[in-house]
Chain A
Amino acid sequence: MAFAELAANDEQRALCETARRYLKNACPPNLARAGADPLASESWRRLADLGWLALPISEARGGLGGEPLTLALLMTEIGRALEPKHFLASAVLGGVVLDHCGDTPIVRELIATAITGERLLAVALYEPGAGYEERRIDAVAEGVSERWHVSGEKALVLGAPDADIFIIPAKTVQGETAIFAIEASAPGLGLTTHCGVDGLSCADIALTNAPAQLLCGSSAYTALAAALDAGTLAVCWEAVGIMRSLIELTASHLEARTQFGRRLAEFQVLQHRMSEMYLECYRAECLSIAALEAAGAELPTRMRALSSAKALVGRAARFVGQQAVQLHGGMGVSAEHIVSHYFRRLTAIDALFGNSDHHLSLLQALDESPRMSAAPSRRRSRARRRRQA
């Protein structure tokens, strides 16, 4: 990603270069599908020293208050490295939820331990059968004075098998949505672990009267929406990093490999395919830049920018991933080759936080609302009435 186009400052460039160097040395891509995550435990804390874990949390709450651009640049490097795997689930989703919770002792403590890397967080965004509707919450919380217990089910919680703290939305008996923290070791908490298509683990969570601490009451939806938005923007940029890597790798492959007495790069049909991959990636970058700039805008503008970006990134991720595999031939479908891992992660990114169809539906709903009808259309319908008269 060209820094000039993103107006990154020196500090952001430096962070980006450090990230690339560090990730290259500390986490060579982990190609074993279900293998150990090199940054799952002790080395996770080294990310704290680099300041990454504090980036999504505002300065007032003890974080670094990183600008969205800083996080975006870091995500492109994380995409390139396919590591560290827990960054999105714990630092981005977890960090942003906590950042939007009230300033209470338990929230302060959780923020502190998240920033130092002592504890990994996992946010339960969805429930079984609710698709991408984060507001469909059936889990219930019952509280007597300050002692809360939560019951219910959560689906496909990212990073859950390794998490120390679960962040769980639930409805109170008054019907209000609130967010709770539940220890991984809490009684009444059961996990069904899944290995993700991208090799990342997630889990369904079953809660039966699990003891919980209240993190956030009235602003629960705001906090969840903020996490979802931050996560969506983050994976858009992660996908950009991966697509750029895939395009570079595939171009090198076409240069290096000879078939039928010619370099693959000389075949026009392959050149054109590469151009299409580049153009899709370029479009995805364009809308990811637009979403980044709209991050501080009012709701409809922000939502439109973010959904446009995710809809296009999802489509581009599928296309670039599939074509990179195709152009690598047999190597592309081999689990030993990094291309297949990038492809898997891009597949997962489309499915995360609303796939392209879902975001197109959100945009379509915006377009169909009557206030969107613009001046030319009114003029047209007047003309039509005149004709009919």
Chain B
Amino acid sequence: MTEIDAFGREVRAFLKRELSDEIRDAVDRSCSIFVHPSIALAWQRKLADKGWLAPMWPRAHGGAEWPSEKIVVFEIEAGLAGAPLLPAAGLSYLGPALIAYGDDAQKARFLPRILSGEDYWCQGYSEPGAGSDLAAVQCGARLEGDHYIVNGSKLWTTHAHHANRIFCLVRTSKDGKPQHGISFLLVDMDAPGVSVQPIITVAGDHEVNQVFFDDVRAPRANLVGREGQGWEIAKYILEFERGSFVMSGRMRRKLQHIRARARASGTRADSTRNAINRRLTGIEVDLCALERAERRVMARRDGGHAIGAESALLKLQLSEIMQSLDEAGMQILGPRALVDPPPAYAGGHAQSNNATPGAEIVSSYLADRAISIYGGTNEVLRGIVARHILGL
């Protein structure tokens, strides 16, 4: 047995032992890829105990420092088994950014608290006037002595209502190109002047928020990198955001669930069943391509290549497959797709066991429209492919 096969076996044994029904059911019922922090942090602790947390971080900072091959194997097995995605804002976005751009004090202060789950971060990028076009951020920070004074607001902030800290793109200068006046600032959510207003999404879910800053004071020591370096750091993180998710295992689990539901709808005409099965087979082919693409892109990361535009290829594929699966699920539900899912299914923290069968499919269908929007809309990503890969 090769080393990687042995690792795969170890991962499966670990998942079988440690992944409780409670966690798995919460993941399966969640219409969002991010589950409630209580579920995600419970899983995070188990991985931390095993020494399997933060696979992309260097060992010196408490990460597992795995080669891509191991990351891919782990993520595919974990996704297939129904393990939750870990809180990404700290582990996948801010962590790598602090390791690359933070000073020693910031690393020493924040990295251990991300790993332990003491800090739960959210990402303050988008604003009312800046969606995909992040260079347009207006939320301002002006230096007064040893503090930045922050005024403005952030929109679509995932889990801001759970988070105790937020990392923000703020405008520290209005001179020159818009990108050059952006800085990367860490703010405490319990600082005076921070307020969070829920945004209920189309799925009936409270996952995202608007965060308001009203003369909020953030210590100067919370500036990551230099003033004006925020754009560069944000781009660095966006590559992680789009490229660090190995999602094919999770997609395959979803496909299996939808296949099972298709089989369970026993009263259909043969022609309908055949059409549904053909549709799912077609999606599975695309899923196989995504699995290979993830390995291809991750292997390039090992080779020291900047992933950059290739992460856009992964996100385009992921969003198309996810939305196709949801659509197939809705077709399979037939008339039951009429029923609005109960709120218990939104927000990833289901309490109720007596919802209409298939409620999770309707919830996913509604919620997953966001996948082709967040982290750069698919239109923005196609522009990136055209510009950076095709040179147009």
Contacts and interface: CB of A to CB of B under 8 A. Distances in A.
A binds B: yes
Contacts of A270: 392
Interface in B271-322: 277-278, 280-282, 284-286, 288-293, 296, 299-300, 303, 313, 316-317
A5 interface: yes
Given A272-B386, A376-B256, A312 B392 contact: no
Given A283-B286, A308-B288, A380-B261, 10 more contacts: A5-B296, A5-B299, A274-B385, A274-B390, A283-B293, A284-B289, A289-B296, A360-B282, A373-B259, A376-B257
Contact of B357 (A265, A271, A289, A387): A387
Contacts of B386: 271-272, 274-275
Given A5-B299, A251-B392, A367-B280, A279 B260 contact: no
A45 B289 CA distance: 38
A255 interface: yes
A282 B387 CA distance: 16
Q: In the A-B complex, list the 5 residue pairs whose CB atoms are closest, starting with the nearest.
A: A377-B260, A271-B386, A286-B292, A275-B382, A275-B385
A324 interface: no
Interface residues of B, number: 43
B68 to A, nearest CB: 13
**Interface residues of B, dominant DSSP:** helix
A272 B382 contact: yes
Interface in B318-370: 357
A363 interface: yes
Contacts of A276: 382
Question: By CB atoms of chain A within 10 A, which of B264, B282, B289 has the most?
Answer: B289
Contacts of B261: 380
Contacts of A290: 288, 291-292
Nearest to A370: B263
B264 A286 contact: no
A287 B282 contact: no
Interface in B72-127: 82
Interface of B: 28, 82, 253, 256-257, 259-261, 263-264, 277-278, 280-282, 284-286, 288-293, 296, 299-300, 303, 313, 316-317, 357, 379, 381-383, 385-387, 389-392
A384 B280 CA distance: 22
A377 B257 contact: yes
A373 B260 contact: yes
Contacts of A311: 282, 285
A251 B391 contact: yes
16 contacts: A4-B300, A275-B381, A275-B383, A278-B385, A279-B317, A282-B293, A283-B289, A286-B293, A286-B296, A363-B281, A364-B278, A376-B28, A377-B256, A380-B257, A380-B261, A380-B264
A268 interface: yes
Interface string A221-257: 0000000000000000000000000010001001100
A368 interface: yes
Contacts of B299: 5
Interface bracket on A? 35 or more
B256 A374 contact: yes
A286 B289 contact: yes
B366 to A, nearest CB: 21
A274 B384 CA distance: 11
A4 B303 CA distance: 9
B379 A287 contact: no
A361 B289 CA distance: 18
A368 B289 contact: no
Contacts of B263: 373, 377
B270 to A, nearest CB: 12
A274 B392 contact: yes
Given A278-B385, A287-B288, A290-B292, A367 B390 contact: no
Given A5-B300, A287-B289, A381 B260 contact: yes
Contacts of A361: 278
Question: By CB atoms of chain A within 10 A, which of B82, B284, B357, B383 has the most?
Answer: B284
B296 A272 contact: no
A286 B296 CA distance: 8
Contact of A360 (B285, B291, B300, B392): B285
Interface in A173-217: none
A289 B292 CA distance: 8
Contacts of B28: 376
A251 B281 CA distance: 32
Nearest to B387: A271
A278 B289 CA distance: 14
Contacts of B379: 272
Contacts of B280: 367
A272 B379 CA distance: 7
A284 B317 CA distance: 13
